[in-house]
Chains A and B, each alone.
Chain A
Amino acid sequence: MHQLENLYRQIIMDHYKNPRNKGLKEDESYVTARIKNPSCGDDVTIQTKAEDGVVKDVRHEGSGCSICCSSASVLSVRMKNQTVEDALGLVDDYLKMIIDKNTAINEQLDDALAYQGVRDFPARVKCATIAWKAFAETLKKG
């Protein structure tokens, strides 16, 4: 169970139990995207407010397993005040970190580095990525 202990590191458990930036805003200046994984029931909505090419706020709401819910929270913290361009770059690096064992890891992912361990659990890749994909959608829409 060493691998699993590794996966559920402090950061993940902390964000799972105490999610940051949770709850959606009724505010037109936010762009919303929702992704569901019909096979397991994970369901995440991300809202992003960007101004002058900079991410000002990220909100999230949804239901799912600890990996899915916590990754939305970690994302919301990490992306605040990033330029849209940098934010999209981070999403790419995050997805690569999880999907491709051979890529170099971008240390700037900070807390999101905790999700490295998902590589060892291919069945959980979807859980760890849907919030990040929804976030990228909000930026591309906006």
Chain B
Amino acid sequence: MKARKDEFPILTRQRLVYLDTAASSLTPKRVIDKMNEYYGEYPVNVHRGVYALSHRATEQYTNARETIAEFIGADFNEVVFTRGASSALNLVALTYGAQHLKPGDEVIVSELEHHSHVLPWQQIAKKTGAKLIYVPLSKEGRITTEAFKTVLTDKTKIVALTHVSNVMGYVTPLEEIILLAHEKGAIVSVDAAQSAPHMPLDVKTLDADFLAFSGHKMCGPTGIGVLYGKRELLDQLEPLEYGGDMNDNVEKDTGTWKDTPYKFETGTPPIAEAIGLAEAIHYLTSIGFDTVRNHEHTLFKRALEGLKKIPGITVYNESADTGIVNFNIEGVHPHDAVSFFDGEHVALRAGHHCAQLLIKWLDVPATLRASFYIYNDEADVDAFLDVVKRARDFFTSIGF
């Protein structure tokens, strides 16, 4: 695949080697245009007005939900719009978790989780008296089925695991894990923030109970995310927030709620963002997810080969399955390093990547992370490698 540079306005505007997609992807023109179309041509509320413009907005917004449902293999009513993956994952913990967990119950999580998939469970465990159990990671830092079996018990009620690690780029063997969890009667919450942008997803094949992702990591806008939930589970849950749009009948001391998914969506939704996310999905689907994944993994391999040839570089995830490389320059704190990269117009991430548990597991203060996507090409990888080399030389020369 040829890198899609021309389709991203920011890349035509300035010199930029953008290697921070794992934080947020860039936005293609057609997604920007689609959102501008909403603001320019039918910028009104949904589900409310009975005039033609509102009808058009509602139709586009409804189509967006349909597109997303189709994209993950779900039914229309199983797609709940949220502000992002974080709020979707919180919704699961704060509703399903709060309503089902009892003292002594166990929730399985991992040190590979993003803070958004461990902190909500920590808090709910504290409130309900349930216990958090960590899957021991393999030597490479992976969640394996074998290790999962050692922590799965009759007390396991919920399994909350990431599909792809945002630091290591490992794919979790979820199909097997979910099967095992279901045999014990546990439900599984999947953090798909780093898989939805990069690989085909099918919630029915996976048999996930809940699954969450964000728009802004997959060519869509910020401020929109999705929670998928199995219909029978969503139907059981109480809403988390109350107010306009989520209600049916309202009396002085009580009210009734709409059906799934609307009971979880109070207030005016992010309309342009939902429409933008659907456009991003059309865009990625038109390229093909297998193509996307191959492309990034090819770039990853080139980067890995190159990094191995530079002395004083530690790579923490040589066997990554996606386009993320996690590394350090020996003796140079990532924050020092990243200023050098910034000066060379290479954008990558330094820090703990919202995964402090993993950084502690790696036993380092922080790391550098470069992540590749459809707009990156081999020249970007080579520019990156060149800057790594020069950064190392520079810091060595000044006495680091």
Q: Assuming A4-B394, A8-B398, A17-B399, what are 4 further A-B pairs, CB within 8 angstroms?
A: A40-B350, A40-B351, A41-B365, A66-B400
* B324-339, CB < 8 A from A: 333-336, 338-339
A1 & B343 in contact (Cβ 8 Å cutoff): yes
B339 & A40 in contact (Cβ 8 Å cutoff): no
Distance to closest chain B CB from A120 (angstroms): 9
In the complex, per-residue mask of B112-156: 1 if CB is within 8 Å of any chain A CB, else 0: 000000000000000000000000000000000000000000000
A41/B351 contact (C-beta < 8 A), A5-B398, A66-B400 known: yes
Interface core residue of A13, A40, A127 (most chain B CB under 10 Å): A40
Distance to closest chain A CB from B245 (angstroms): 35
Q: How many residues of A contact B (CB 8 A)?
A: 22
4 nearest A-B residue pairs (beta carbon): A65-B335, A65-B333, A40-B351, A41-B366
A104 at the A/B interface (Cβ < 8 Å)?
Answer: no
Chain B residue at smallest Cβ distance from A7: B339
* A86-109, CB < 8 A from B: none
A63 at the A/B interface (Cβ < 8 Å)?
Answer: yes
Distance to closest chain B CB from A15 (angstroms): 12
B340 at the A/B interface (Cβ < 8 Å)?
Answer: yes
B352 at the A/B interface (Cβ < 8 Å)?
Answer: yes
Q: Which residues of A contact B (CB under 8 A)?
A: 1, 3-5, 7-8, 13, 17, 39-42, 63-68, 121, 123-124, 127
CB-defined contacts of A63 to chain B, threshold 8 Å: 365
21 pairs, A vs B, C-beta closer than 8 Å: A1-B343, A1-B394, A4-B394, A7-B339, A13-B398, A13-B400, A17-B399, A40-B335, A40-B352, A41-B351, A41-B365, A42-B335, A63-B365, A65-B333, A65-B334, A65-B335, A65-B336, A121-B342, A123-B338, A123-B339, A124-B339
Distance to closest chain A CB from B122 (angstroms): 16
A121 & B339 in contact (Cβ 8 Å cutoff): yes
